[in-house]
């Protein structure tokens, strides 16, 4: 629970958002100030809580501040497919279209309302933030295609490796991990539903990666021992981030 406590340590709850947006486009000081101001309307959600239901119209836009969530779809027989994970710094509910998937908290989750930011962008008052949101959208689409390739064409071993690398990269951008280490507060069941595998096989595959000396998992923290080897295994390409390119 990051709070006023760590403010004087230079850590603010909205930092992941700022880091994320800055990785997508150049922001002016006033852009950053605006994001800092979002600290007001906060919401807390328990694990399992649904933020958005499938088919919901455009809801309030929000940013995840802490905790993890996901987009998913459920089948009537209980099978679940997770489309993407929402990490601190990620936006939800932007875009004025009915949601095609539900959004569910996977851990205790904290969000802030981003209506102010969205209004500012719509008013045309911040080209920087506008570009950042557009880039975030593009990035999300790219991740979904990566995910489809993972599900359709990668083996379990490759899938897990690929997924770990994606998480590392995203969390590092959010300031929540380094090139080798990051928090991973997911059960193996959640991993299974994201990767299109069974729980048991996720477990097997993680063991395999461990035994190969490629990763390490301990109490909610993942360590990539050999990021380059992992990347070779699954043909992971670090996405080109273009913070300086105008539209």
Partner DNA sequence: TTCGGTCACTAACCTATGTAATCGCAAGTG
Partner DNA sequence: CACTTGCGATTACATAGGTTAGTGACCGAA
Which positions lie near a copy of itself, rule CB under 8 A? 73, 75-77, 79-81, 83, 96-98, 100-101, 134, 138, 141-142, 144-145, 147-149, 151-153, 195-196, 235, 247
Q: Which is nearer to DNA, 134 or 156 (CB)?
A: 156
Classify each residue of 116-141 as buried b or exposed e, where b means 16 or more C-beta atoms within 10 Å of its C-beta.
bbbebbeeeebebbbbbbebbeebbe
Stated as kind and residue range, the H or E segment containing 42 is strand 42-45
Binding DNA (rule: CB under 7 A), the pick from 183, 188, 216, 225 is: 188
3-state helix, strand, coil in the chain (%, to 5): 45, 20, 35
Of these partners, DNA, a copy of itself, none, which one is at the site of residue 83 (CB under 5 to 8 Å by kind)?
a copy of itself
Binding partner of 169, given a copy of itself, DNA, none, CB within 5-8 angstroms per partner class: none
Quickly count: other Cβ atoms within 10 Å of residue 113's Cβ. Answer: 17
Minimum CB separation from DNA for residue 155, in Å? 4
- Give 82 or 171: the residue with its C-beta nearer to a copy of itself: 82
**Is 237:168 a contact under the CB 8 Å cutoff?**
no
- Binding positions for DNA, 21-80, rule CB under 7 A: none
Query: Considering the complex, what minimum distance in angstroms separates the CB of residue 159 from DNA?
Result: 7
Q: State residue 221 phi and psi, 5-degree precision.
A: -125, 130
Binding partner of residue 235 among DNA, a copy of itself, none, CB under 5 to 8 Å per kind? a copy of itself
Judged by CB under 7 A, the number of residues near DNA is 19
165 close to 236: Cβ distance less than 8 angstroms: yes
Distance CA 143, CA 159 (A): 13
Q: Which residues bind DNA (CB under 7 A)?
A: 155-157, 186-189, 196-201, 203-207, 217
């Amino acid at each position: 629970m990051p709070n006023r406590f760590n403010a004087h340590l230079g850590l603010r709850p909205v930092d992941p958002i700022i880091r994320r947006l800055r990785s997508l486009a150049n922001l002016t000081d006033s852009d950053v100030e605006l994001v800092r101001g979002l600290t007001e309307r906060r919401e807390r959600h328990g694990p399992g809580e649904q933020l958005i239901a499938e088919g919901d119209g455009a809801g309030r836009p929000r940013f995840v501040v802490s905790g993890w969530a996901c987009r998913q779809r459920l089948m009537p027989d209980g099978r679940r497919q997770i489309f993407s994970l929402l990490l601190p710094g990620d936006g939800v509910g932007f875009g004025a279209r009915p949601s095609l998937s539900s959004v569910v908290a996977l851990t205790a989750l904290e969000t802030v309302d981003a209506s102010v930011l969205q209004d500012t962008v719509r008013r045309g008052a911040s080209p920087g933030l506008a570009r950042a949101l557009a880039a975030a959208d593009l990035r999300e689409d790219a991740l979904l295609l990566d995910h489809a390739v993972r599900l359709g064409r990668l083996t379990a071993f490759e899938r897990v490796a690929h997924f770990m690398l994606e998480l590392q990269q995203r969390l590092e951008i959010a300031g929540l991990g380094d090139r080798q280490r990051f928090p991973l507060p997911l059960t193996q069941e959640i991993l299974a539903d994201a990767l299109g595998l069974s729980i048991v096989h996720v477990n097997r595959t993680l063991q395999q990666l461990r035994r190969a000396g490629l990763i390490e998992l301990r109490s909610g923290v993942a360590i990539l021992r050999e990021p380059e080897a992992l990347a070779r295994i699954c043909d992971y390409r670090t996405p080109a981030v273009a913070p300086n390119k105008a539209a």
